[in-house]
Chain A
């Protein structure tokens, strides 16, 4: 898919909370029998006063500030998440108000499991590409949910990123093309009112993550007429690090290409924020002229893939905190009870 006019990313911002829990702290409580080695060593945990709205506000402020964009000129804000603080009441209006974008703006929350953030990116490209708005903000952010003791609890992390899309002549990276691939696949879901998601165990791999990520990635490569070797960097959705190394290998990307965007080993899987945060980490180090390959995955199921080309404006648009700065301010939560409290998994009423 290509927009009628060329679109790019004018500014970006990331967010990862300060707290971490070691997966060892989780396994020492649940003592899983015969479990394989933990997929990640630690994961990010929200602070007691944080949620998707507060995290989205910080990432959005950085994105808008780096773009040097008048917040009032932004015409759309979408927040993609599966851990919204309210079941009914948009997160996007709070973000729009706090960042100074409201009221002349289209705003809503996107829902598509871990692909909700890239869904917001597709919509932003379309709105800007159609000439309806000058700037559109797409955010993917999660305080990822998981059932206590479940396999997902060892990786469900917290964080995300915001991207301000605008006309390509103002951008730090232009969008070459994007594609989407979706089917009805029951690998993971959460019913209305349920506290924790359900998932299909081994079913989450081959017929779900790999099938959709491969299809979208191959379609995008065909659409832009490129080979994996043409890209300096590639980022995928990151449920566990080995899924990313495997899909990269199947498509023909090497370890060096996925290195900058692979954050799961340090913070776990930030669900709707996962691939967007990886893209932010790539932009933190990318050089003008480099091409960046992006592919998300969301259960239910589908993938969005984007090809970007970095412009010379990138060097002047990295002011303020990068992904590494957020990862560096690490504070360990060393007991499982404290972790449960921060994840709001302890119900008192």
Chain B
């Protein structure tokens, strides 16, 4: 039964909620007991902006159970500093570039069974282009 686990993770999954260290100011994701930079345990919750750039990526050709292909896995360097591993959405493999600007979207990331619980969480897509001057 994984339901309690996904329920506990929803702040991270839905809001990309990380932590800011009260001692040294470092921002980290996901939440941990202590600061990765200074080991302080004085951490406060910090929802991240969801904006970042592609640090690296790979296309996984073998499927994982509960995840719908294509699997475009990427390391995203967030604006606030932390690196997060996530799948890319709304993009074809040939369109991805290192350094590409991306933004967080909440999508279906997993189904626990064909008629089972749907896990929603963060993915990243190329930053939406907005027509200027409207």
Chain A residues proximal to chain B, CB less than 8 Å: 18, 47-51, 53-54, 57-58, 85-86, 94, 97-98, 100, 284-285, 318, 320-322, 324-326, 328-329, 331, 348-349
- Name 24 A/B residue pairs within 8 A (Cβ), A-sorted: A47-B90, A48-B69, A49-B87, A49-B89, A49-B108, A49-B109, A50-B107, A51-B118, A54-B105, A54-B106, A57-B106, A58-B105, A85-B108, A86-B118, A94-B120, A98-B120, A284-B134, A321-B128, A322-B134, A325-B128, A326-B128, A329-B90, A329-B129, A348-B114
Interface residues of B in 88-127 (CB under 8 A from A): 89-90, 92, 105-109, 114, 118, 120, 123
Residue of B nearest to A17 (CB): B90
Does A320 lie within 8 Å of B130, measured CB to CB? yes
- Chain B residues positioned under 8 Å from A320 (CB to CB): 130
Q: Determine the distance from Cα of A86 to Cα of B119 in the docked complex, in whole angstroms.
A: 12
User: Least Cβ distance of B47 to chain A in Å?
Assistant: 8
Does B38 touch A at the CB level, under 8 Å? no
Contact of B68 among A49, A100, A331 (CB under 8 A): A49
Does B39 touch A at the CB level, under 8 Å? no
Q: Determine the distance from Cα of A49 to Cα of B120 in the docked complex, in whole angstroms.
A: 9
With most chain A CB atoms within 10 A of its CB, the pick from B92, B105, B120, B131 is B120
Assign chain B's interface to a size class: 20 to 34
Q: Determine the distance from Cα of A326 to Cα of B114 in the docked complex, in whole angstroms.
A: 30
Does B118 lie within 8 Å of A85, measured CB to CB? yes
Does B57 touch A at the CB level, under 8 Å? no
- Chain B residues positioned under 8 Å from A100 (CB to CB): 15
Chain B residues proximal to chain A, CB less than 8 Å: 10, 14-15, 68-70, 87, 89-90, 92, 105-109, 114, 118, 120, 123, 128-131, 134
Contact of B15 among A18, A54, A98, A322 (CB under 8 A): A98
Q: Determine the distance from Cα of A285 to Cα of B128 in the docked complex, in whole angstroms.
A: 19
Count CB-based A-B contacts (< 8 Å): 65
User: Least Cβ distance of A63 to chain B in Å?
Assistant: 15
Does A328 lie within 8 Å of B131, measured CB to CB? yes
Contact of A51 among B10, B15, B89, B108 (CB under 8 A): B108
- Chain A residues positioned under 8 Å from B123 (CB to CB): 49
